Chain A
Amino acid sequence: MSDNILVTTLDEALRWGTGKSLWPFTFGLACCALEMMSAMGSDYDWARFGSDVFRDSPRHSDLMIVSGTVTKKMAPRVRRLYDQMAFPKFVISMGACASAGGPYVRGYSVVDGVDQVVPVDVYIYGCPPRPESLIKALKLLQDRIADGKVKH
């Protein structure tokens, strides 16, 4: 009985750790990357949520923010980068382009939705979403991971 409680507590603690420490991957694609940088900048400062350690290598990072249009030429590379990240890993699809193709949805060389390439945990709509939107999404994702609703 007490063993179970211990296991549950440990499990919860680990989930808490995963959730509250999401190191983003330096991965900017297009317009939304600038708003991502704004969210990182002094005015919005998402370091408050423990995401200030921007990691340049996928091996070190937990959170891939697909910030911008994913073209067909880029999609296999995105998949590759996602595969090279270490579990547990999460994906935020930022903006209309990454979520559904956005203004380029009728184009010939744009993937309409990055969820065809990698599994997405959070979609943010808008073109581009405001930084506060991204920060709110990050916070919601953190809470959901800590609650065990998002698993990897």
Chain B
Amino acid sequence: MSMTPELAALALAVIIVPIILAILLGTARHFSPKSYGRYTHDSYECGEVSVGDFQSPLPIQYYFFIMAFVVFDVDFVLLLPWAGSVRALGAGIFLDVVLFIAVLLGGLFYASKKGYMRWSSV
């Protein structure tokens, strides 16, 4: 397949849609009033003054979820070429795939047994 004009249109959409949005926002900026109140640009916090650090420390469980997520996402990518041609490849390859997934799932199961996937809760 070659680079057809319609594919170019798809690629152009990545540029054109933001431009349309930018025009929309520009129009909005043109029409919007310019006066501001004294506290307008303060951070909103239910009417109170926002004090202290706004960043919350993450629970340690997040690290596990991130890692598991990346592992499984890459796993998904490795499965994709196989998925397109399952019929051609047949059952032999399928066993390999089962093994591959079993290893991943085994890891996940181990982690959940170890309690990495539990959120601290009373």
User: A63 to chain B: closest CB distance in Å?
Assistant: 16
Contact of B38 among A77, A81, A83, A86 (CB under 8 A): A83
Q: Which residue of B lies closest to A78 (CB)?
A: B47
Given A14-B31, A88-B33, check contact A83 B48 (CB 8 Å). Answer: no
User: A118 to chain B: closest CB distance in Å?
Assistant: 10
A81 touches B33 (CB 8 A): no
Main SS at interface, chain B: loop
Contacts of B40 in A (CB 8 A): 83-84
Let me know if B6 is at the binding interface, CB within 8 A: no
Let me know if B55 is at the binding interface, CB within 8 A: no
B44 touches A84 (CB 8 A): yes
Let me know if B84 is at the binding interface, CB within 8 A: no
Cα–Cα distance between A45 and B42 once the two chains are bound (Å): 34
Give the size range of B's interface with the partner.
Answer: 10 to 19
Contacts of A87 in B (CB 8 A): 32-33, 35
Contacting residues of chain B (64-90) with chain A, CB-CB under 8 angstroms: none
Contacts between the two chains (Cβ within 8 Å), count: 32
Cα–Cα distance between A82 and B48 once the two chains are bound (Å): 12
Let me know if B52 is at the binding interface, CB within 8 A: no
Cα–Cα distance between A36 and B33 once the two chains are bound (Å): 29
Let me know if A79 is at the binding interface, CB within 8 A: yes
B31 touches A77 (CB 8 A): no
Residue picked from B32, B35, B37, most chain A C-beta under 10 Å = B37
Q: B residues bordering A, Cβ < 8 Å? A: 31-33, 35-40, 42, 44, 47-49
**Extra contacts besides A79-B39, A83-B40, A84-B37 (12): CB < 8 Å:** A14-B31, A59-B44, A77-B47, A77-B48, A80-B42, A80-B47, A80-B49, A81-B47, A83-B38, A83-B42, A86-B32, A87-B32
Q: 5 A-B residue contacts at CB 8 Å?
A: A57-B44, A77-B48, A83-B37, A83-B42, A152-B33
6 closest A-B pairs by beta carbon, nearest first, are A83-B37, A77-B47, A83-B39, A87-B33, A81-B47, A80-B39
